[in-house]
């Protein structure tokens, strides 16, 4: 009987630890590089801050980003009783190729692919 009660409490806790997602999509085309990062929060999410420099990650622009608590993130929060709660941040850059143009008066004198690393 105690085993059933413990199993029911564990299952209920895991269900309450559910997943959630906050996402934002732009009008830029998808298909670029994907970047995943972890945000580390403590005390039920009250302590901690995560900043992501979107311009540095995606110089050509961001197609979409999302901040989510995955099942594993929720499980870790449940196991630690909310002391540690990670979140997963995913950024997708826009696809396609950007070019640096050099304009001389009314003429384009050079067209080179944009260097994302620079």
Could you tell me if 90 and 66 are in contact, meaning their C-beta atoms sit under 8 angstroms apart? yes
Q: What is the mean pLDDT of residues 15-33?
A: 74
CA dist., res. 86 & res. 49, Å (int): 11
Query: Which DSSP string corresponds to 11-62?
Result: HHHHHHT--EEEEEE-SS---S-EEEEEEEEETTTTB------HHHH-TT-E
Higher pLDDT, 93 or 12: 93
CA dist., res. 56 & res. 88, Å (int): 18
Q: Read off the tokens for 58.
A: 């995606």
CA dist., res. 4 & res. 8, Å (int): 6
3-state helix, strand, coil in the chain (%, to 5): 25, 40, 35
CA dist., res. 90 & res. 108, Å (int): 37
Give the pLDDT confidence score for residue 33 in this predicted structure.
83
Give yes or no for residue 108 having a pLDDT over 70: no
Among candidate residues 60, 68, 67, 66, the one with its CA nearest the CA of residue 29: 60
pLDDT tens per residue across span 60-91: 888 888 988 888 888 888 899 889 989 898 89
Give the pLDDT confidence score for residue 11 in this predicted structure.
63
Give the pLDDT confidence score for residue 96 in this predicted structure.
63
CA dist., res. 39 & res. 49, Å (int): 7
């Amino acid at each position: 009987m105690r085993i059933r009660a413990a199993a029911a409490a564990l299952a209920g806790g895991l269900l309450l630890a559910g997943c959630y997602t906050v996402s934002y999509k732009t009008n830029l085309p998808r298909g670029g590089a994907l970047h995943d990062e972890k945000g580390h929060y403590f005390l039920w999410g009250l302590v901690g801050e995560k900043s992501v420099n979107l311009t540095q990650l995606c110089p050509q622009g961001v197609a979409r980003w999302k901040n989510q608590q995955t099942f594993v993130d929720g499980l870790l929060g449940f196991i630690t009783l909310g002391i540690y709660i990670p979140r997963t941040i995913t950024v997708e850059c826009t696809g396609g190729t950007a070019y640096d143009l050099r304009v001389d008066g009314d003429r384009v004198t050079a067209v080179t692919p944009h260097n994302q690393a620079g």
